Amino acid sequence: MLKMALVCGLAISSDCVSLILYAGIYYSFRSLILIFLILPPEKYMINKFKLFFDKYLISDEKDTDSDERRLHLAATVLLVEMVRVDQQAKPEEQTALVEGVSSTFGLSEQETSELIQLAEQEANDATSYHTFTSLINQGFSKQQKISVVELLWEIAYADFELEMYEEHLVRKLADLLYVSHSDFIAAKLRVQARMGIA
């Protein structure tokens, strides 16, 4: 009798464990569905930013362009910050950003759009410029860094008005990129000349 009771008890326990496991799987699956229904698209782990990151930025020994893409992202984050520095993205500044990224890095319209969107996401999450300027200092030549500063000036002057905080940001980023004062001023003068600004 005792043996039979133990066998029955084990059978019941086994059924209970199975029931608990099935219930756990069901509620976990239901919770997962609710998460995807409730959370906004930008919060999904698998979204367009992650897809772009996986497509263009993850290191791969066979992908010789991965370092260059990371540098493009780092530089674009700085340009995005210039657009945002006055707390509003003016159409002229946004146009200067798109044209500058596309022409400087030789990207298609789609690649440019994806890179800027990813850079905006990175800028939202960033706590300092150091991560991006350090990467640029490691990978860009002196002339390439001067080109980045020149792009910053182009965005700052896109609306033909240079605000104090815009000039301050260009100066700060130029210092972080170890661009000399003479190159900093020369880049500014080139942009002024192209735009016909006295």
- 52-83 pLDDT per residue, tens: 445 444 545 445 577 899 999 999 999 999 99
Distance CA 7, CA 16 (A): 14
Give me the helices (H) in the chain, please. 2-38, 48-52, 66-84, 91-105, 109-125, 130-139, 142-156, 164-176, 181-195
Q: What pTM did the predictor assign?
A: 0.70
Distance CA 173, CA 148 (A): 10
Q: What is the pLDDT of residue 27?
A: 44
Integer-rounded Cα Rg, in Å, for the chain is 26
Q: What is the pLDDT of residue 64?
A: 56
Encode pLDDT of 119-142 as tens digits.
Answer: 999 999 988 899 999 999 999 999
Stretches where the chain sits below pLDDT 70 are 1-64
Q: What is the pLDDT of residue 126?
A: 87
